[in-house]
Structure 1
């Protein structure tokens, strides 16, 4: 009875190369998830480096920001807190 199933173990000689092709094709190519991950990480790095470069350039070239003028009312309050009388009072 064991002799009846011997044909399952034997591969015809014409199909010998098919097994080798299948074994070799599994190792070729990139994982699609890896490609997406590399693309996203690459774009994130480009974004962060670009922002840093623009920030450094702006720090060197732009003039310092002007301070807002202090109102007369605030000046008067500050002088009163310090104990200095405002002129005309």
Structure 2
């Protein structure tokens, strides 16, 4: 075992108690700095941009819901005569006029 004073020596119980007491006393001497400078300009910009985006998306969603309730359903596009003829030929029915 290493002797006291040498590196790697195990401190005695008196030394441990003294160090614990010193640490407890020094914990009360911590200086707490409270600096209240107001809001950081970067934080203000971030809040404004975030609020604007949030309002934009909430407004769009509200308009979407309103449109779903009030607008009539979309009309389907009329099927062209060529497509009708092609479908009938696929089904084996002869197209009129042939």
Do both proteins adopt the same fold according to a TM-score greater than 0.5, normalized to the shorter chain?
Answer: yes
User: Comparing both chains, which one has the higher relative contact order based on Cα–Cα distances under 8 Å and sequence gaps of 6 or more?
Assistant: 1
Shift of residue 79, structure 1, vs aligned partner: 0.5
1:71 counterpart = 2:80: yes
Report the count of equivalent residues: 66
Which structure carries more helix by proportion? Answer: 1
Name stretches of at least 5 consecutive residues in structure 2 with no aligned partner: 1-32
Say which SS state the counterpart of residue 39 (structure 2) adopts. coil
- Deviating above 3 A after TM superposition, structure 1's stretches of 4 or more consecutive aligned residues are none
Shift of residue 88, structure 1, vs aligned partner: 3.1
1:88 counterpart = 2:97: yes
Shift of residue 28, structure 1, vs aligned partner: 3.3
- CA root-mean-square deviation: 1.5
Name stretches of at least 5 consecutive residues in structure 1 with no aligned partner: 1-22
